[in-house]
Amino acid sequence: MKKVFKYVLLSMAALIVAGGTAFYIWAQQTYEPSQMLQRLAGDAVKEDGWVLYEPEEKNKAGLIIYPGAKVEPEAYSYIAQQLSKQGYVTGIPEVTLNLSMLSTNKAEEMIARYPSVEEWYIGGHSLGGVSAASFVHQHSDTTDGLIFLASYPSSGSDFSDTNVPVLSIYAEKDGLTTEEKINETKELLSSEKTTFYKIEGGNHAQFGIYGEQKGDNKADIPVKEQQDIIVRVILDWLQDR
**Greatest C-alpha distance within the chain:** 73
Q: Which residue has the higher pLDDT, 40 or 154?
A: 154
- Residue type for 15, please? L
The 10s digit of each residue's pLDDT in 86-112 is: 999 999 999 999 899 999 999 999 999
* 63 pLDDT above the threshold of 70: yes
* 2 pLDDT above the threshold of 50: yes
Percent of the chain with pLDDT over 90: 76
pLDDT given for residue 41 in this prediction: 75
Helices (H) and strands (E) in the chain, counts: 7, 8
Cα R_g (the chain), whole angstroms: 19
pLDDT given for residue 56 in this prediction: 86
Q: Assess contact for 223 and 36: CB atoms under 8 A.
A: yes
pLDDT band at 168 (very low <50, low <70, confident <90, very high): very high
- Residue type for 192, please? E
pLDDT given for residue 9 in this prediction: 47
Q: Which residue has the higher pLDDT, 170 or 7?
A: 170
Q: Which residue has the higher pLDDT, 57 or 76?
A: 76
Instruction: Indicate the angle between helix axes 223-239 and 77-85, nearest 10 degrees.
Output: 40
CA distance 130 to 125: 8
Pairing of strands 120-125, 166-171: unpaired
Q: Assess contact for 138 and 80: CB atoms under 8 A.
A: no
CA distance 195 to 79: 19
pLDDT band at 60 (very low <50, low <70, confident <90, very high): confident
Q: Assess contact for 231 and 79: CB atoms under 8 A.
A: yes
Tell which residue, 185, 182, 180, 197, has the closest CA to residue 232: 197
CA distance 204 to 129: 13
Q: Which residue has the higher pLDDT, 192 or 181?
A: 181
pLDDT band at 35 (very low <50, low <70, confident <90, very high): confident
The structural domains of the chain, ordered by start, are: 36-239 (3.40.50.1820)
pLDDT band at 23 (very low <50, low <70, confident <90, very high): very low
Average pLDDT, the chain: 88
Cβ neighbourhood burial of 6 (10 Å; 0-12, 13-18, 19+): exposed
* 241 pLDDT above the threshold of 90: no
Tell which residue, 82, 68, 86, 77, has the closest CA to residue 31: 68
Give, for 132, the enclosing helix (H) or strand (E).
helix 127-138
Helix, strand, coil content of the chain in percent (nearest 5):
45, 20, 40
The 10s digit of each residue's pLDDT in 118-139 is: 999 999 999 999 999 999 999 9
pLDDT given for residue 46 in this prediction: 84
Q: What is the mean pLDDT of residues 29-58?
A: 81
